[in-house]
Structure 1
Amino acid sequence: MKERNDSLEKIREIILANETIVLGGHTNPDGDAIGANLALAASLRIMGKNVQVLLEPFSKKYAVIPNGDLITEKENVSKAELFIALDCGDMGRLQGAAEVFQRANSTINIDHHASNSFFGQYNYVEENASSTCEIVYQLIKGHFPIDGDIASALYAGIIYDTGGFRHSSTTPTTMEAVGQLMAYHIPFTKIYNALFDSRNFSEMKIMGRAFDKAEIHFDGKLICSSITMQDIGECNGTNKELDAIINYLKGVNDTKIACFFYEKNEMDVKASFRGNDGYDVCALAQKFGGGGHIKAAGCTIAAPIAKAKEMVFAEIEKML
């Protein structure tokens, strides 16, 4: 495994040299993973490539991102000449798509997570980029086709991963890219509202349950909450409706670290972390086999939810 980047020119060269291409993103895909995959896949389809996307089911709010028809099931994918992993920190995060990745003749890994393991045959990892969609835009701009739908998908991923341009990862380069994407006359207000200001009733109920269960620890430095499978069931929801909760927790005044836990099953807990300046939650997540960014990271812990919280709190106590 090599821990260095190939150039964008090399990545383009490899893509152009292959005809049957499969793309995939991380498990429980978010706006950036979905946007990056559907934007690049749509561009390659316009070029005449035989392209398919492997993504797990996701929240209905992401239906605002165009070209969802490119997503298929793993069983429908024959061996790929080229597999492009997007917004995925390591091969394990590809989950079911990892099998297709391993069978491919060539592999490309494009990502912006600092914890990326450079697991591709060819790699382009830019941890200073706001999002994988920002990288994909730099990859295809002036070289591969872009239309309104592709621009919409890239815009969706960028605004999602920057929290609507609020996160410190937002740079002048990010805003320049967004301005250029808006020139394609994309429905930017509709996309923004769908990702940040719209939710169904069950999601609202789950959020209320999470806020009611929120707790403060370590003299107010840590805020955390947790949701069980029973909570989700009582709210008639799904675990695809939980991704906004951690950002609300993070916004509580005077807290330094925010944690949110939810049960995937009785012995697997998903943990999401957010940290203020000076608190490296990526390092925290990596202690449990996860990763992400310095200020935003996550992991899955093989333990009951009470034990998972205990394990994480022990590490946070050391941090504080």
Structure 2
Amino acid sequence: MPQPIFAGLSAFPLTPADEAGRVETEGLQRLLKRILDADVQSIGLLGSTGTYMYLSREERRRAIAAAVECVNRKVPIIVGIGALRTDEAQALAQDAAKEGADALLLAPVSYTPLTEEEAFRHFEAVAGATDLPLCIYNNPSTTHFNFSEPLLERLAGLPTIQGVKMPLPKDADFAGEIARLRAVTPVGFMIGYSGDWGAAESLLAGGDAWYSVVAGLFPSQAAALTRAATQGQATEVDYLDKAFAPFWRLFKAHGSLRVVYAAANILGLTDAKPPRPILPLSPDLTPAIEAAIAALEG
């Protein structure tokens, strides 16, 4: 029986682009080939790490086409389709389907804060725009909208919505949160987490997926951590997680997006910079990032 698409390790790469926002497709494919060499269960294209909100519709479509060509159905591609307007998100969903995406990831992007009814109707409309499975992207740190458990229950009843990408719980009670969500969502609804430094703990607690920033650059190491956690090997998880600790500290201090751009530059994978107004990290941090890389690759 095939593994559900919203389960296991999902690696989220950068989307290299020039200063005008034109996607560097060769650079993107270089990052994707690195991911394909590892044991990942999906690729999260155009997520927050993939700077989807900084790219035009046409450039998003070019990125999807380049990814589908490179990946060639070896692993599923989950495409981020967040947009301010519902009709724009529907069009992005349809673009992704036409270009060969396997699944969709939708965040409730907004300027005016959304009510729960507005969020539900937005997701209902976008989920109905294609037949592709859709994962709810609960990312309150960027969208300033946090899904209540009753809203997740309601959304999970829609036929194409099959999973949720959750932030780390503030009380770190993964087991409690997972149990509450399982009690109100259908069998087979996948509950995964982002927030790399807590994801292994979420898998040990019974979470279904790790939506990982770091796996976009270090997929083999992230895959080893995922395997240990899904097999309940707490001692091995603790050992492997120590190698990631320098990155976790950098992510918390400077934001994972800035750090992975700097790390990708140091590794020679791309010379692309974050989209303005986001600025590259100070060169003063280069030794710390090099040390974090050495901890994983040593």
Smaller-chain TM-score range? under 0.3
Structure with the higher strand share, 1 or 2: 1
Structure with the higher helix share, 1 or 2: 2
Query: Relative contact order, CA 8 A, sep 6+: which one is greater?
Result: 2
The alignment's TM-score, normalised by the length of structure 1, stands at 0.27
**Bigger radius of gyration among the two:** 1
